[in-house]
Amino acid sequence: MTTRFSRLSAGAALLAVLVGTASALAAEPIKIAVSGPFTGGSSAMGLSMRDGARLALDEINRSGGVLGRQIVAIERDDEAKNERGVQIAQEMINKEKVVAVVGYVNTGVALASQRFYQEARIPVMNNVATGSTITHQFDKEPENYVFRNAAHDSIQAPMIVEEAIARRGFKKVAILADSTNYGQLGREDLEKALNAKGIAPVAVEKFNIKDVDMTPQLLRSREAGAEAVLTYGIGPELAQIANGMTKLGWKVPMIGSWSLSMANFIDNAGVNGEGARMPQTFIQEPTNPKRQSFIISYLKAFSPKNGRIDSPVSAAQGYDSVYLLAAAIKQAGSTDGPRIKDALEDLRATVEGVVTTYNRPFSKTDHDAITTSIPVFGEVRGGRVVYAYPDDLKKATVGQAKK
């Protein structure tokens, strides 16, 4: 009896160990990378994106996580530097063993870094970088692991041109774009959109990150007779354009990419930035219950200065990207990269986001969740971004959806 009892006890103990080990493994958190610029001139976008992602993760984890597991963000500051982005990608793959990535604010960093995730078959959810080539970098490969829920430049550039030429009637425009991949690819998209309307820019000017004097570029644009300035850059340098025009006593409208909404443009330009217009996927207004809930939660969690999110677009897209990934992991029933990718390409769950309600946002041949039906025009007014047109406000209230 003693021997039999001992054997039974030993067997029960072994079973308990195995069950405990299995439970521990099942409870291991799901790691995702969150990579963006948390310092420097792009940090308004990077920090807002990161905080939007944090907010989504907190909500998901408080509701039980995904597949019975919590999702943990491994955050890294890529400093808007291509080489730093590459280092982070290799660390995330080889050391942290992440199952997916959200982030990338700068087009150059995305193009330099996401190829490592592509090789490792780990899905990347770009949520801020807008270079048109980002989701097409691996079109020639059998499988593409790069997705995006931001309005790419092939959407924004025609919107900018339509606003300047058709809506406001300007015939002579100058382009001022920074020298990064983002600026120069955006400049190309602007020139294509202008060419489609039979118009050539009267001036095309370049500037560098951290430039503080735009006088030469602005003088050439003024002498060429520009009636408006079309921009592709980020906040600090865009503010120098607005301030430089004021110093020259030459004030024409600024119409540019979505980054004219950055806090460091609005704050550094002050009254000189008033009236600047740009495409936006999200404006910090409670136009529907989901947006109202997001704004309240974000302000409570992070207490931004003056109650204004530094980059509302980045925050909203960061938030939505986490929910899209979580839905894909749940549908896949796995953290295996190829299975997550397949789920994203055929996402059956409807995901209620801040930017939009995502209903089958991707397919095998379309990895961009945002289409022309979603962005609206924002305008800097009173130190914040508001809806430029009543119709856009109405559109946001009813709800913007992918077509």
CB-based contacts of 292-295 (< 8 A; 24+ apart in sequence): 294/55, 294/319, 294/354
* Residue 399: band (very low, low, confident or very high) from pLDDT cuts 50, 70, 90: low
Average pLDDT, stretch 93-111? 96
Task: Give the pLDDT band of residue 27 (cuts 50, 70, 90).
Answer: confident
- Please report the pLDDT score of residue 396 as a whole number: 78
- Strands annotated E in 259-374: 277-280, 351-352, 357-358
- pLDDT at position 24 over 50: no
Q: Is the pLDDT of residue 397 over 80?
A: no
pLDDT at 261 over 80: yes
**Smallest Cα–Cα separation from 43: which of 323, 320, 314?**
314
Query: What are 263-275's pLDDT values in tens digits?
Result: 999 999 999 999 9
Q: Is the pLDDT of residue 17 over 80?
A: no
What is the spatial distance between Cα 277 and Cα 300, in angstroms, rounded to a whole number?
28
Q: Which of 256, 252, 233 is nearest to 244 (CA)?
A: 252
In the predicted structure, residue 395 carries a pLDDT above the cut 80: no
β-pairing, 100-103 with 30-36?
parallel
Q: Show me where the domains of the chain are located.
A: 30-151+285-370, 154-280+379-385+390-398
Torsion over CA: 121, 124, 129, 130 (sign): positive
Half-sphere exposure of 164 (CA within 13 A, CB side): 34
Query: What is the DSSP secondary structure assignment for residue 101, as one 8-state letter?
Result: E
Mean pLDDT of 197-221: 97
Per-chain mean pLDDT for the chain: 93
Q: Binning pLDDT at 50, 70 and 90, where does residue 16 land?
A: very low
Q: Residue 223 CB: number of other CB atoms within 10 A?
A: 10
Close Cβ partners of 11 (under 8 Å, ≥ 6 residues apart):
none
Phi, psi of 121 (to 5 degrees): 60, 50
- Phi and psi for 43 in degrees, rounded to 5? -65, -25
Determine the pLDDT at residue 305: 86
CATH tag for 154-280+379-385+390-398 (out of 1.10.4190.10, 3.40.50.2300, 1.10.530.10, 3.10.20.600): 3.40.50.2300
**Alpha-carbon torsion angle 164, 167, 168, 174, nearest 10:** 10
The arithmetic mean of pLDDT across residues 189-208, rounded, is 97
- Superfamily (CATH) of domain 30-151+285-370: Response regulator (3.40.50.2300)
H helix intervals, 27-121: 43-62, 82-91, 107-120
Do 30-151+285-370 and 154-280+379-385+390-398 share a fold?
yes
